[in-house]
Amino acid sequence: MTTTDLLPATPPRSAARRALLAGSAGNLVEWYEFGVYGCFATVIAANFFTPQAGTGAAVQGGAEALVATYAAFALAFFFRPVGALLFGRIGDRFGRRPTLVLVIGLMTLATTLIGLLPTRADIGAAAPWLLTLLRALQGLSAGGEFGGAVSLMAEYAPPGRRGLYGAWQSFTVALGLLTGAATAAALATVLPAAALYAWGWRIPFLLALPLGVVALWLRTALEEPPGAPPAGPAAATSTTDPAGTTGVREQARAVVLGIGRIMGWSAAGYAFLVVLPSHLQSALGASFRDALLATTLVNLGFAASILPAGLLSDRIGRRPVMLWGALGIAVLAVPLLYLLQSPGTPTQARIAAVLTAGALVGLLAGPGPAMLAEMFPRRVRCTGLGLSYTLANAVFSGCAGLFVTALTARTGNTAVPAHYAAAACALSVPALLTLRGNDHREPLR
């Protein structure tokens, strides 16, 4: 380790708070925009992937349409590693601020255009292709968001608070998804189903424009974290050997290990927080309104546990908190889903089940960002932790909707989402056991 790898001074608390606000606000907007698509998956399937669009088309005749909708969802996730690499290199070479400004601008543009997009009934087969293109742009943006935001928050965090500061990234993800679900639920309550399918679904996407402008304004006022290297290509190689090859294998291994540590978080997060609305409708026959209510509750449980989990990980370490979350999901996911779908289950028990499922995911998501930031030196932090996160999400989150929907339709087993989340969390346990107990107390490299 060289002296240039360490932050030379603790940043002022006022600057740290501004950085936390800019990173969190932009992240909330990013994930509101990204989560709205999951909430409206059945509506989008009816309008873009069903030849005869209409109310309930995606549910009644549309297992194939819903699979196509989730294929577009998965495609966006596979563009996220590309975004992590592209914007991560910008963040590592030229600073965190340019990355964060670029990604929020791109996400806002793509989401607003989805709200203006003609449907299949208007322009035919071109509609799903245009939607898929905009989803790819969203994926590029979301891929760059995580690395830039987490690096900024971790590098500005006061001593002993990296877990809490990093947890704000996950907390604003929860708030973004919750805001998207609540917006969708409100529209489903006040609009007739025909109006919701015809034009009401566009409103949440169009709200991205004013929200994105506010986040963009906050991010343009950002300052680089203390100890940032001079902007330019030399910044990425100033701490390496002349050939620029030092640590490449070590960092590649760190990316693979990071994927293993967060695969359970990725799979369970999207199985419970994003895929749940359409699964409850297509597999269990729930109404659109009831499905969104369940999604809102699971996101409430998720949001409520994130910051306490991050703070607790600053005190006792990342390993025990994340292990509790992974083991809890591995053991309880299937019983909780059976409780949820059983006709005789009291309403209070259903509410407790979805809140518990969300809270268990929060135990992984709270310490997760800080844990990843601690795995990589500053010169490659944006790229390294961004690739770990986005590759895990591409495989275990982006494919969740496609996998769950297709396998449920083929097998008739409505507990597929729970089995999927439980298996991924069980597989992540060995990787989490490699965490060292004192990593949270060491200075960032």
With a cut of 50, say whether residue 239 has pLDDT above it.
no
Using the CB atoms, write b or e for 366-402: b if 16+ within 10 Å.
bbbbbbbbbbbbbbbbbbbbbbbbbbbbbbbbbbbbb
- Residue 112 is part of a domain; what is its CATH number? 1.20.1250.20
Closest by CA to 170, choosing from 271, 303, 270, is 303
Residue 238, in any domain of the structure: no
With a cut of 80, say whether residue 354 has pLDDT above it.
yes
Predicted pLDDT at 28: 86
User: CA–CA distance from 304 to each of 89, 178, 292, 299, 374 (Å)?
Assistant: 33, 11, 18, 8, 24
List, for residues 142-177, the tens digit of each pLDDT value. Answer: 888 888 889 888 888 888 889 999 999 889 888 887
Q: Is 250 within 8 Å of 383 (Cβ atoms)?
A: no
Q: Is 401 within 8 Å of 316 (Cβ atoms)?
A: no
Tell me which residue has tokens 């740290």. Answer: 16
Q: Is 80 within 8 Å of 393 (Cβ atoms)?
A: yes
Predicted pLDDT at 58: 42
Name which of 3-12, 127-136, 224-233, 260-269 the model is least confident about.
Answer: 3-12
- Greater pLDDT, 417 or 318: 318
With a cut of 90, say whether residue 197 has pLDDT above it.
no
Predicted pLDDT at 56: 47
Look up the domain containing 45 and give its range. 10-226+247-438
Predicted pLDDT at 360: 94
pTM of structure: 0.80
Name which of 93-107, 238-252, 356-370, 374-388 the model is least confident about.
Answer: 238-252
Residue 183, in any domain of the structure: yes
Residue 241, in any domain of the structure: no
- Greater pLDDT, 179 or 310: 310
Please state the rounded mean pLDDT for residues 1-28.
68
- Percent of the chain's residues with pLDDT above 90: 26
CA torsion 404-406-407-411 (nearest 10°) is 130
Amino acid present at 74: A
Most confident of 22-26, 155-159, 376-380: 376-380
Predicted pLDDT at 54: 47
With a cut of 50, say whether residue 242 has pLDDT above it.
no
Predicted pLDDT at 198: 87
Using DSSP, state whether 224 is helix, strand or coil: coil
Residue 234, in any domain of the structure: no
Distance of CA 92 to the CA centre of its chain: 21
User: CA–CA distance from 98 to each of 122, 385, 388 (Å)?
Assistant: 38, 17, 21
With a cut of 90, say whether residue 97 has pLDDT above it.
no
Mean pLDDT of the chain: 81
Residue 186, in any domain of the structure: yes
Please state the rounded mean pLDDT for residues 326-353.
84
Residue 259, in any domain of the structure: yes
Confidence of residue 344 (pLDDT cuts 50, 70, 90): confident
Amino acid present at 27: N
Please state the rounded mean pLDDT for residues 378-384.
90
Tell me how far apart the alpha carbons of residues 34 and 141 are, in angstroms, rounded to a whole number. Answer: 10
Q: What is the total count of domains within the chain?
A: 1
With a cut of 90, say whether residue 328 has pLDDT above it.
yes
Confidence of residue 431 (pLDDT cuts 50, 70, 90): very high
Name which of 132-141, 156-165, 224-233, 387-396 the model is least confident about.
Answer: 224-233
Rg from Cα positions in the chain: 21
Angle, CA of 201, 203 and 206, to the nearest 5°: 125
List, for residues 249-308, the tens digit of each pLDDT value. Answer: 888 899 999 999 999 998 888 788 767 666 666 666 667 677 777 777 888 898 899 999
Q: Is 118 within 8 Å of 47 (Cβ atoms)?
A: no
Residue 233, in any domain of the structure: no
Predicted pLDDT at 257: 94
**How many CA atoms does the CB half-sphere of 57 hold within 13 Å?**
20
